[in-house]
């Protein structure tokens, strides 16, 4: 809990609506693995590992954009669980972490290349989808930002 040091009344302010969703172009994008959390899925049938990937780009419109991936790491449907665990294994290998993974924080700060695709949501708006992962090559420099989160 944090004391604001003053009384704040939300009625004194309009809603802030400058939220802009940035859609990255289709293709490969350099990134770092940032925050992660494990949480229950919406239907209560399993657990998700939610990974945040921070985009590293020379283009200021894309620098720092966060793309999320949702992996079914435990699920009543074993096919869904297997796909989620295969994705996690791929991310782990492509990010260069070859040890046994105990905590998703072990992946934080690791560079990876994301293969980004574009899809439409239920309202017809474009959004990004992670279509795959690649390792950075020795010739690709991915400069880690001073602060991820």
Domains and CATH numbers, the chain: 24-134 (2.40.50)
pLDDT class of 139 with cuts at 50, 70, 90: very low
pLDDT class of 13 with cuts at 50, 70, 90: confident
- State how far Cα 70 lies from the chain centre: 8
Highest mean pLDDT among 4-8, 12-16, 56-60, 73-77: 73-77
pLDDT single digits (tens) 61-93: 899 899 999 999 999 999 999 999 999 999 999
Q: Which residues are registered as beta bridge partners of 38?
A: 49
Upper half-sphere CA count for residue 121 (Cβ side, 13 Å): 7
Residues 6+ apart with CB under 8 A from 127: 21, 23, 118, 119, 120, 121
Q: Cβ atoms within 10 A of the Cβ of 36, count?
A: 18
Alpha helices in 52-147 (DSSP H): 78-94
């Amino acid at each position: 809990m944090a004391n604001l040091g003053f009384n704040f009344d939300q009625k004194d302010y309009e809603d802030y609506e400058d939220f802009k969703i940035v859609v990255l172009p289709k293709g490969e994008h350099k990134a770092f693995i940032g925050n992660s959390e494990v949480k229950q899925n919406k239907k209560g049938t399993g657990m998700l590992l939610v990974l945040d990937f921070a985009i590293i780009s020379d283009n200021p419109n894309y620098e720092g954009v966060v793309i999320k991936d949702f992996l079914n790491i435990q699920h009543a449907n074993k096919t869904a669980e297997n796909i989620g665990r295969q994705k996690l294994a791929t991310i782990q290998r492509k990010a260069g972490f070859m040890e046994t993974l105990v905590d998703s924080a072990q992946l934080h700060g690791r560079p990876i290349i994301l293969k980004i695709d574009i899809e439409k949501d239920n309202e017809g708006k474009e959004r990004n989808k992670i279509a795959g992962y690649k390792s950075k090559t020795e010739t690709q420099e991915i400069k880690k930002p001073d602060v991820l989160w």
